[in-house]
Amino acid sequence: MKYKNLMITLYYKVLFMSRQNPVRPGHPGGQLETLQEISDIKRIMERSSRFISLSGLSGIAAGLCALTGAYFANNILTDYYFEYNHSGYTDQNFESLKFKLLMVAGIVLAAALILSFIFTWRRAKQNHLPIWDLTARKLMWNILIPLISGGLFILAMLQYSEWRFVAPACLIFYGLALVNGSKYTLTDIRYLGYMEITLGLVNTQFTGHGLYFWAAGFGILHIIYGVLMWWKYERQPVKVNSH
Amino acid sequence: MTYMKNPINGLNKVFDNRIRLGVMSVLMVNEEISFNDLKQMLEVTDGNLATHLVNLEDNGYIKVHKGFIGRKTNTTYAVTKAGEKAFSDHIAALENMIKGVK
């Protein structure tokens, strides 16, 4: 957005000057006409390059889904290890553990996606913006490249029973996806991406605690990010009742 | 600053039109864009947009690329060097107009 700052400067200059309203030849509106022209350019440039309807509430919802999922996964794991210590390792128990964990992961992913979509869709509607346009497509595509690569990479690791780096890989690839996508939406999301990547890298040194890192990255960070974004962009000024 | 010699100086007649100005604004921040995306972004009708695109093309400000997605034609538009220059000059002229008020 090389023109963005220029536009904002212009905007205030024009607002300040508008009372003097000198006549622009051929334009009866004069200065106001120029103001309109400049704000049009600014609005169109912004709207055509970034998907700005992403809602902070989506982040909070996704975070809560992740925390709920982590709680259930933790219970499932505790039960498994309880069995393991009492009756030893059985293929059947291990298969059932894998199945249950995958179910939880699938449900969490679906719930998080659906809820995030609902809040973002609602915000787009409130702002009278299309939910699916050029900017949404660009954002989606740029997020999906690292995300799908990461997903396939993790499946390949599981194929060789390499489970230790599943949580770190989830966090790192997700972080990379956010950094990549930040060029096409609110730039703040880049910082969430940096945090996820860092958390993932730290996690590589504490491989036994993947679930906690996973809960921190997908749960807590999402909630913090969501609250901050909601506060910054969506909060309605509180109406004070005066008597 | 002294009062502007001529405030209209540097303002580009081609950008007098809202739609043409809109097309240029979109193209300045997007490498390449399809007809349908432009239409959705600017909320204009097919015929109206097409006329203004032809005008911009005739002025050498945009270049048109006709491609195919399957059997459907997919026409995309991009800004030319000349268009970029003309648009920047137009912005500069607008800025000068406001400065000139002092």
Query: For A61-85, what is each residue's pLDDT tens digit?
Result: 999 999 999 999 999 999 999 989 8
Probe site for chain A from B3, B8, B29, B42 (most A CB atoms < 10 A): B29
Place of tokens 């432009």: B38
Q: Closest chain B residue to A40 measured between Cα atoms?
A: B22
Query: For B23-35, what is each residue's pLDDT tens digit?
Result: 999 999 999 999 9
Contact between A37 and B40 using a beta-carbon 8 Å cutoff? no
Residue A5: pLDDT over 50: yes
* pLDDT value, residue A240: 65
- How does residue A30 score in pLDDT terms, banded at 50, 70 and 90? low
- How does residue A23 score in pLDDT terms, banded at 50, 70 and 90? very low
Query: For B61-76, what is each residue's pLDDT tens digit?
Result: 999 999 888 888 889 9
Query: For A100-126, what is each residue's pLDDT tens digit?
Result: 999 999 999 999 999 999 999 999 999
Give how far B101 is from chain A: nearest CA, Å: 8
Contact between B40 and A134 using a beta-carbon 8 Å cutoff? yes
Give how far B9 is from chain A: nearest CA, Å: 10
Give how far B5 is from chain A: nearest CA, Å: 12
Instruction: Tell which residue, B43, B87, B57, has the closest CA to residue A37.
Output: B87
Neighbours of A12 (CB within 10 A): 9
Place of tokens 């109206």: B48
A196 in Cβ contact with A182 (< 8 Å) = no
Contact between B40 and A130 using a beta-carbon 8 Å cutoff? yes
The ipTM is: 0.80
Please tell me if residue B93 touches chain A, with a CB cutoff of 8 Å: no
A88-92, A229-233, B88-92, range with greatest mean pLDDT: A229-233
Share of chain A above pLDDT 70, in %: 85
Of A24, A26, A49, the CB nearest to B97: A24
Neighbours of A159 (CB within 10 A): 8
Query: For A182-209, what is each residue's pLDDT tens digit?
Result: 999 989 999 999 999 999 999 999 999 9
Find chain A residues with C-beta within 8 A of B33's C-beta.
48, 134
Euclidean distance between CA atoms A11 and B25, whole angstroms:
16
Residue A241: pLDDT over 70: no
Of B29, B33, B97, the CB nearest to A34: B97
Give how far B16 is from chain A: nearest CA, Å: 9
Q: CA torsion, points A164, A212, A118, A42, in degrees to nearest 10?
A: -90
Please tell me if residue B48 touches chain A, with a CB cutoff of 8 Å: no
Angular region, A161: left φ>0, alpha ψ -120 to 50, beta rest: left
A126-132: Cβ within 8 A, 24+ apart: A127/A52, A127/A53, A129/A47, A129/A52, A129/A53, A130/B40, A131/A53
* pLDDT value, residue B98: 76
Euclidean distance between CA atoms A41 and A48, whole angstroms:
11
Instruction: Tell which residue, A96, A105, A102, has the closest CA to residue A68.
Output: A105
Find chain A residues with C-beta within 8 A of B21's C-beta.
37, 40-41
Chain centroid offset of residue A42 CA: 25
